[in-house]
Amino acid sequence: MSTSEFDLSRGLDRLNRRHLLGAGLGAAASALPLTAALAQTGELVVGAAPPITGVFAFAGVGLHQGLGDYCDWRNQAKGGVAGRKLRYVGEDSGYKMDQAMAVFKKIMGAHKPPVFYGDSTAWAKAAAKEVSQLGSTLTCSPSFSSDLADPKNVPYYFMAGPTYTAMGEILLEYINRTSRGASKPAVAVVYSDTEFGRDPIPGIKAKAQALGIPIVQEIVTKPGAVDVSAEVSKLRRAKPDYVIFHGYVLAPIPEFIKQMREAGMNTTPMGTIWSMDKTTVDAMGAAAQGWMGVMPYRYSYDTQGAPTMQVMKDYAAKARPDLKYIPIFYTSGWLVGMIFSEVMERVLKAGKPLNGPNMKAALESIDNWDTGGVTGLLASLKGHQIASGRIYAYNAETKLMEPASAWIKTA
């Protein structure tokens, strides 16, 4: 995947100087020690290593902005958490493993944050052992890797949405619920030859078998711009009603769709979260027609009956007037901030220290939690994930992703 496909990294230029310094991205700010005077203020540091540059800058900038802006909004609107102000300290990981770990160790050493947001599945897994040994910090990242939603083996990690496996299950639930006729629709699965791509495939197969949905073709490709003509020929012979794409952001999905249409295939293409932002779908061009997929959040323009989405939209309009569209990455970062704050507030109000075991217990006590419409259903984090989502479909007239289903919760 190339950042030129989106050119969204230009969003970094819109970060105002005040917020850059507050996030620790300025050279001077990143060098400042945690002084005794600052420590006495009782601030709660939210540490982060988002990928603000590199191949995933298109997502990292929004994640960084959403999490940082939530902290600022929380301080202004609610005085922080349990009377203590939040202070966001984030430094760019560049989506490089060594850099992400260096940032993590630096911020942990200097600020000892009770919560930390990393940049990837690789980071989450690499940091898990150290985080478990420290027993002091609750973590999250953009990864929805299925094996990270594991309260026993990865006790201090959660995800602000469903696992990739759960996303696949939601897609299959939608297919099953909307199927007509005696036979179930046939499904093909196309995924990238990456850990990200392979992650949900066993779960998707198991769910399909349980629902009686036939998987008629399974195709693996490299991510990015690749020749897919041979793969499309396999799909044409298999005649699936739906093709689920996972493990990509954009390419080669548009080329698949283009060639399937040229071959006269009457099939519906579907995707998962990182292929579902409006900016990504816009970049598909004509291939976006008929595109569907699963999203765990509302889109930022969907504010009806969702007060938190309206608050987020209003704050972003005030703080970032040049940000004309709020991407799902910003929404995800904002929700992570909400969860961090809810966990810390529950621990502090119980009069307990902010350590790993207490925050884990507080996290798992979150059940039937009203996110104000960010998630369509009341949220539970008992299993360290929010296992729900909704199917959206692209509307060529409005050029928006619009709801195609009710909210679906996995078992």
| 253 & 397 share domain | yes
Q: Output the pTM of the full model.
A: 0.89
Name the residue type at position 328: I
Report the alpha-carbon distance of residue 224 to residue 221 in Å, rounded: 9
Residue 4 has pLDDT above 50, yes or no: no
| 127 & 46 share domain | yes
Residue 182: per-residue pLDDT: 83
- Looking up residue 87, the CATH number of its domain turns out to be 3.40.50.2300
Residue 24: per-residue pLDDT: 38
The candidate with the shortest Cα–Cα distance to 323, out of 61, 128, 85, is 61
State the pLDDT confidence band at 181, using cuts at 50, 70 and 90.
confident
Range of the domain at 239: 164-295+390-409
Residue 289 has pLDDT above 70, yes or no: yes
Residue 38: per-residue pLDDT: 36
Q: Please, are residues 142 and 333 in contact by the beta-carbon 8 Å criterion?
A: no
| 125 & 10 share domain | yes
| 31 & 107 share domain | yes
| 138 & 271 share domain | no
**Domain membership flag for residue 82:** yes
The candidate with the shortest Cα–Cα distance to 184, out of 133, 269, 127, 241, is 241
| 325 & 347 share domain | yes
**Domain membership flag for residue 271:** yes
The candidate with the shortest Cα–Cα distance to 158, out of 169, 170, 142, 171, is 142
| 219 & 132 share domain | no
What's the structural domain count of the chain? 2
**Domain membership flag for residue 217:** yes
Stretch 8-18: mean pLDDT: 34
| 75 & 9 share domain | yes
Stretch 129-157: mean pLDDT: 96
Report the alpha-carbon distance of residue 115 to residue 83 in Å, rounded: 17
For 92-125, what is each residue's pLDDT tens digit?
999 999 999 999 999 999 999 999 999 999 999 9
Stretch 184-212: mean pLDDT: 97
| 135 & 9 share domain | yes
Return the minimum-mean-pLDDT range out of 33-42, 86-95, 110-119: 33-42
Q: Please, are residues 276 and 295 in contact by the beta-carbon 8 Å criterion?
A: yes
**Domain membership flag for residue 34:** yes
**Domain membership flag for residue 146:** yes
Name the residue type at position 77: A
**Domain membership flag for residue 14:** yes
Q: Please, are residues 239 and 215 in contact by the beta-carbon 8 Å criterion?
A: no
| 270 & 329 share domain | no
| 149 & 11 share domain | yes
**Domain membership flag for residue 25:** yes
Stretch 12-24: mean pLDDT: 36
**When comparing pLDDT for 15 and 315, which is higher?**
315
| 157 & 20 share domain | yes
**Domain membership flag for residue 385:** no
Residue 169: per-residue pLDDT: 98
Residue 325: per-residue pLDDT: 96
